[in-house]
Structure 1
């Protein structure tokens, strides 16, 4: 009997240990198992890797300076997106682990799961002033220094690039006409703006030299001079300059001859910089006058940074209500269809009026100064009323709302508290609705002999023996054409 009980205890113990291992295995699997969101990010990474490979092949085959600069820009943009997506994927994995650990912690207290709404953040009218010397700008003396520049803008996992601009001493400002909109910004956002520059002459002349020719020239110059020449011909890593200068891990970076872009200046903007006007922001400048990609910057950047929280543009709550104004007949209730949006509670006679864009019968202000409370239960209906108080010209005006059930009252109260929370987080963005002019969708360029994009400049020549400005048909494969076609047609 004793042996049987001991065996049973051992079986239970072994079973408990095995059960714990199974649970641990399930936990590990649940932590590292890709969710749908993880899968979407992984698809984006795969897409950008293919685009980067295509840009590398194109850069090696380019015969025109403008083509090479655009290809190098595409390579820089793809590499930056890959880095951002990998960081976002890592952050999501860490958040999953922390969430699992928190749920299993016995001493974890209650967590406030209220989150502010997201919104749109748009940057436009980007201007970067230049500070040329008097002899360069006014007297047009000295060597004409020309650089190709563009901006990369990152907010969370979204990265956009501006058009490339050729800059020399004839320009007083670097102007980017792009309007860039980030659609999934939270009130704690940090937008990083990076200005990249490339000397359009020096970098390209070195990068465009064929490898075989560079090798022959270096060998004929002798060991010492040849080593220096070969080092000049060999490109460095094509990876973007990361925040903090750390080398990215697990990201094989191609080495391709051609022009190289360098980080010239950068800045970070947050919610405190948002204002519905044109403002100046400080820039942190990298490099110095000895760098080939150097441009004389003032150290400032001008732009318009606007934001539209969803609580200001979308319906946060809607439904049927009965409204009574203070001082009126106690039995006089007006039945309305109410919509909570922005800084108002819009009250319509019918729900159809909302869809028909009919003016509301009246509105009740809902802003940071509004006070809302739940009144005592009505002895007849046993439903709590909602009292909304506002100051109009020094006088307090209160509207009393009621619903058909306790559940509806609770939903409306929760919607109001969430609305106030959103306003408190987005701050000045909820005072008035800021205007954002959405950029027009990118249209494919017409098929003419000369186009602005690299893809359309790769059309094969009529005769195989022709040599000119366009790329030969055998220089770029059909795969690269397809990749670049999708790149220029995609909207990020």
Structure 2
């Protein structure tokens, strides 16, 4: 019999499969846009988006495979009854990468005038975002600064965030717009002779065929990596190590990275902004231990806030606030001194002294709910550590990079691979699949040769 846990797992797998399908559509649309682009800026942006889409697809498929393997082996981690710490929103901002040019390049303005396009990709599990791309990075710049605020919505306390730096050396790119005349003539000849149907067939090619053979799109190289975790969370900008990647020859990329980067990593655990548990509780009066007062209570943001009724929560300050911090202890009340059923004691120690509050729930079920809620709140604080000391400003501006799952691909899908001539569709009927395939292979083969020649000149 399938239980609730199985339904949750199925829903998560289904959502992940939807993301994969959507990202594949985005990749296909981006590939078409890359083919159709004529301006260098468009080509660069399309190549960057294509790399990001491919990275997401790989991450989604790897996670789906991991879940399937765990399911087969019976190693489900999310078991019912286990208390897990809350998750958090985590933001990365103020990313700055110092550059280390030679004196002759930067100060004396000598040497070749190298220019680069650079962007960063940040990963936490299957959440992958990229920054805006900084083009025309040259010897006049002492560092690369990204204005983006990248916001991750559902991050566990033991997260391991990866920051990757991608770079492309700017030079003449290959596209349909600047194809050598011989190859461009072949493209136009095919378009003019076989018409729209060939365009449709070309549109159906996979990305390896389109990007790897027909178009010499810009290639972004992974030039450096960094990592961030909970201990790096801070309200201020800090400096971190940047590990430089090497090529097959053991050489680092010619972009003169300094080996460090700066950024601000902020975290806002859900327990600080979302109620762990709410409901009515009876609080023992301090001046008369025989009297109890009934409050509507909300456990959130390191305190138990108490109002007269639920309607007062949004309009007035709490009548009573009981701190629930890392130094708080929750225990059952002594039945010899507290006669009320379902009662418990909240004991907090801080610089002002020791504070005790005795509370009671209405029923055993309510008592269990509150008991679990307090344990959850203390667990959240223990595992999120200093990130729970105060509410950090995530600086989630309008420049936030939204998940690509929400993007639309209709614009890309409407972009034709080749602009056909309207009166040439009838010729398609005279061409067989073998002849068409031979024409495409000839075209792609010459493109591959040109790409090899271009890459050898770098």
Q: Same fold (TM over 0.5)?
A: yes
> 2:117 is matched with which residue: 125, 141, 148?
148
Q: Is the 8 A contact 1:317 1:340 kept in 2?
A: yes
Matched residue SS, 1:122: strand
1:189 aligned onto 2:164: no
> 1:165 is matched with which residue: 134, 138, 162?
134
1:98: Cα distance to partner? 3.4
1:185: Cα distance to partner? 0.5
1:308 matched residue in structure 2: 268
2:289 matched residue in structure 1: 330
> 2:33 is matched with which residue: 47, 58, 73?
58
1:92 aligned onto 2:67: yes
CA distance in 1, matches of 2:175, 2:113: 19
1:253: Cα distance to partner? 8.0
Q: 1:300 to 1:238 in 2, by over 3 A?
A: farther
1:258 aligned onto 2:209: no
1:415 matched residue in structure 2: 373
CA distance in 2, matches of 1:187, 1:355: 30
Matched residue SS, 1:347: strand
1:354 matched residue in structure 2: 313
- 1:208-357 residue pairs with structure 2 within 5 A? 210=179, 213=182, 254-255=212-213, 256-287=215-246, 294-324=254-284, 326=286, 328-356=287-315
- 1:351-390 residue pairs with structure 2 within 5 A? 351-356=310-315, 358-377=316-335, 383-390=341-348
1:401 matched residue in structure 2: 359
1:197: Cα distance to partner? 0.3
1:165: Cα distance to partner? 0.4
Superposed CA deviations along residues 19-46 of structure 1, whole A, max 9, x for unmatched, are xxxx9xx9xxx99x99222222112112
Q: Is the 8 A contact 2:151 2:400 kept in 1?
A: no
CA distance in 1, matches of 2:126, 2:177: 34
2:197 matched residue in structure 1: none
Q: 1:292 to 1:257 in 2, by over 3 A?
A: farther
Superposed CA deviations along residues 163-197 of structure 1, whole A, max 9, x for unmatched, are 11011111111111110111110001111111100
1:246 matched residue in structure 2: none
2:190 matched residue in structure 1: none
CA distance in 1, matches of 2:392, 2:139: 36
1:391 aligned onto 2:360: no
Q: Is the 8 A contact 2:31 2:50 kept in 1?
A: yes
Q: Is the 8 A contact 2:211 2:217 kept in 1?
A: no
Q: Is the 8 A contact 1:208 1:258 kept in 2?
A: no
> 2:148 is matched with which residue: 178, 194, 205?
178
1:440: Cα distance to partner? 1.5
Q: Is the 8 A contact 2:30 2:412 kept in 1?
A: no
CA distance in 2, matches of 1:337, 1:93: 44
CA distance in 2, matches of 1:303, 1:102: 33
Normalised by the length of structure 2, the TM-score is 0.75
> 1:122 is matched with which residue: 76, 87, 91?
91
CA distance in 2, matches of 1:211, 1:424: 63
Superposed CA deviations along residues 374-406 of structure 1, whole A, max 9, x for unmatched, are 113379965132111122445212111112122
CA distance in 1, matches of 2:76, 2:19: 29
Q: Give ranges in structure 1 of 5+ residues lacking alignment.
A: 1-22, 104-109, 217-236, 240-250, 444-453, 461-470, 476-492
CA distance in 1, matches of 2:180, 2:34: 13
CA distance in 2, matches of 1:71, 1:419: 45
CA distance in 1, matches of 2:288, 2:58: 65
Q: Give ranges in structure 2 of 5+ residues lacking alignment.
A: 186-205, 402-408, 421-458
The 10-residue stretch of structure 1 (379-388 or 313-322) with the greater mean CA deviation from structure 2: 379-388
Superposed CA deviations along residues 179-224 of structure 1, whole A, max 9, x for unmatched, are 011111000111111110001115x2599753773699xxxxxxxx
Superposed CA deviations along residues 212-251 of structure 1, whole A, max 9, x for unmatched, are 73699xxxxxxxxxxxxxxxxxxxx989xxxxxxxxxxx9
Matched residue SS, 1:154: strand
Matched residue SS, 1:294: coil
- 1:447-462 residue pairs with structure 2 within 5 A? none
Q: Is the 8 A contact 1:125 1:178 kept in 2?
A: yes
Q: 1:408 to 1:59 in 2, by over 3 A?
A: same
Greater RCO structure (CA 8 Å; 6+ sep): 2
| Poorly superposed stretches of 4+, deviation over 4 Å | 100-103, 205-209, 251-255, 288-293, 378-382, 454-460
Matched residue SS, 2:264: strand
1:324: Cα distance to partner? 2.1
CA distance in 1, matches of 2:334, 2:124: 46
CA distance in 1, matches of 2:210, 2:62: 15
Q: Tell me the C-alpha RMSD between the 2 structures.
A: 3.9
1:474: Cα distance to partner? 2.4
2:435 matched residue in structure 1: none
